[in-house]
Chains A and B, each alone.
Chain A
């Protein structure tokens, strides 16, 4: 009889996600109650708000100072025509992403083993909660706590958008991408915290993982490029005389002539996936920017656009970037047609998903294997 009740419960589970989601909701409530009552979180949030405000103000101040300087000295070629908006927006966005990546491990990487050390994890495990519910609950709570930091920086991003005359889509996409990146770091942190015995260790490992994504991807791309030495078929570019007023929009400024020959080239497309995993690349590449291939005389492209373009150049490889590869003139500017961020985000999701799965395995009870030197309670 009792096994029948169990079966009924089990199938109810699989059929309707109701009770399962409700369990996650209860864990999130428990976690958030604790977080909302710790003063440290509010202090961090206040510091964050002040710091983002300071960065916004400094960016604006430095822009207006240089603008005033250029006006006084009659320099007309400067950035004066573009307005401060896109600059402020980009600086604030990069800053928010950097600091969100630094804050997220602190909010997530002791979620499970901190409770284990405090003796409260086993109390959850002994209830009807399933390991997945505990893990998802912890992840959602950590993510929500980290998202509060993004919400605190939204006013400054809005200022940037408003001053620069950018579209609301801009801010929407960038906020969504920031939230996703923070979520990925939180998932990595929660997964590692379920695997590692001690909170200090898991926090350090999560910071290293973030450093790996931010810096390590650049280093491995740089070093990996050296291993991609190869050749590409190309003929010779013939550069025209410099004639700025006659040049077509986004003209490469050369024509191709002569026989195709093997030329040495770096096949960066083979290692570009490491670059794609960089959170800055993912965010920069996902943000839409105006298609400039058909527009004339833009003075400078922003940092975000620059990152995106550089990453796409790496992805295109010599076939797409070597002048006169296969005898064709290459555009110096790649359009939005080959986005890189789905690949990067996919790889990040695989990494964080793997860590969450391993974490879920370690939360199953009754426990068969315990890590050395840890107690379940």
Chain B
């Protein structure tokens, strides 16, 4: 099991980030999480990737200090959640995958209540709530009962609720599920901003294409275990499959064969070829060569996202 560390050395005491070491958790006879290692550094977006039932939500519940691990330790900014409960809680923001909302309350009331539960100073609550409503673009709906909000709006409210006390660690469980493409782009921007503010952002998902754009690093889990931990750059450097279509696929194939490259013919709706390239420089060079050779290239792009590539490779290893 190759764990590629995020920072070269000196990550024993991460400041502000969240770390789990060798955590296990069973429900009855089911081992949901089995000696999982996880680290999300401050100022970065870390993706938690794995198929359904891989233990993502269980790990996040343990990170959120709701569920106690059977074994292993969790530290939030170097603090133990059991001993420094209040301290850790005020640093953690958690957005669950189930959208629990108090339906008869308005968005403003929900955020105000949450601010009180986090013991924010009373005088600062109203401006803070207004600020959060603006941040998630719910100002216009602030005084409507939460039940009239659409799913996407409730997601945004849920995000605002997790952010109300300005936590340094943000745990988001499937934040993009059920969002329309526009809202996804918006979520992406928001998460990048939060990471830029120095927060450790953890996003769990099994939709990989969007994570490529936002995640700095990824932790792959499956069957309750950490399978791989890598940065997006490392994922990209590990080689990616590119899909190429040309006006004349035969000519393209002939040229690739002449260059001595291994490729695969794709008989999809748009016939083309695909091949693995080790880095972006190689891709650049190949495209130039093909164009210079007079092959009419119509498209030349990575077939799948970098993280998806790793994910699919892992799936392959598993079989």
Contacts and interface: CB of A to CB of B under 8 A. Distances in A.
B86 interface: yes
B66 A128 contact: no
A5 interface: yes
B236 interface: no
B121 interface: no
Interface residues of A, number: 36
Nearest to B85: A6
A107 to B, nearest CB: 16
A3 interface: yes
B117 A125 contact: no
B117 A9 contact: no
A16 interface: no
Interface in B78-116: 79, 81-87, 89-90, 92, 94, 96-102, 104-105, 109, 113-114, 116
Contacts of B99: 119
A296 B92 CA distance: 75
Interface residues of B, number: 40
A38 B98 contact: no
Given A26-B113, A372-B28, 16 more contacts: A2-B79, A2-B84, A10-B86, A26-B117, A30-B102, A33-B105, A37-B145, A119-B99, A122-B100, A123-B100, A126-B64, A126-B65, A126-B94, A366-B66, A376-B61, A377-B97
Contact of A37 (B27, B62, B101, B104): B104
Nearest to B90: A128
19 contacts: A3-B87, A9-B86, A23-B119, A26-B117, A30-B102, A30-B113, A34-B104, A38-B104, A118-B100, A122-B100, A123-B96, A125-B66, A126-B89, A127-B89, A127-B117, A365-B67, A366-B62, A366-B81, A376-B61
A29 B113 contact: yes
Interface centre among A2, A38, A121, A125 (most CB of B within 10 A): A2
Interface in A38-52: 38
A368 interface: yes
Contacts of B62: 366
A118 B64 CA distance: 19
Nearest to A36: B104
B42 to A, nearest CB: 15
A19 B121 CA distance: 12
Interface in A1-23: 2-3, 5-6, 9-10, 19, 23
Interface string A136-150: 000000000000000
Interface of A: 2-3, 5-6, 9-10, 19, 23, 26, 29-30, 33-34, 37-38, 115, 118-129, 365-368, 370, 372, 376-377
Contact of A377 (B89, B98, B113, B117): B98
B104 A33 contact: yes
Contacts of B105: 30, 33-34
Interface string B60-79: 01101111110000000001
B119 A19 contact: yes
A376 B116 CA distance: 22
Given A33-B105, A120-B102, A377-B61, A2 B87 contact: yes
A366 B89 contact: no
B240 interface: no
A38 B67 CA distance: 32
Contacts of B66: 122, 125-126, 365-367, 376-377
A122 B96 contact: yes
A365 B65 contact: yes
Contacts of A19: 119
Nearest to B81: A366
A34 B102 contact: yes
Nearest to A133: B117
Nearest to A26: B116
A330 B195 CA distance: 85
B223 to A, nearest CB: 19
Contacts of A33: 104-105, 109
A376 B109 contact: no
Nearest to B95: A123
B106 to A, nearest CB: 10
A199 to B, nearest CB: 15
Nearest to B104: A37
Contacts of A23: 117, 119
A5 B82 contact: no
B174 to A, nearest CB: 12
Contacts of B100: 115, 118-123, 377
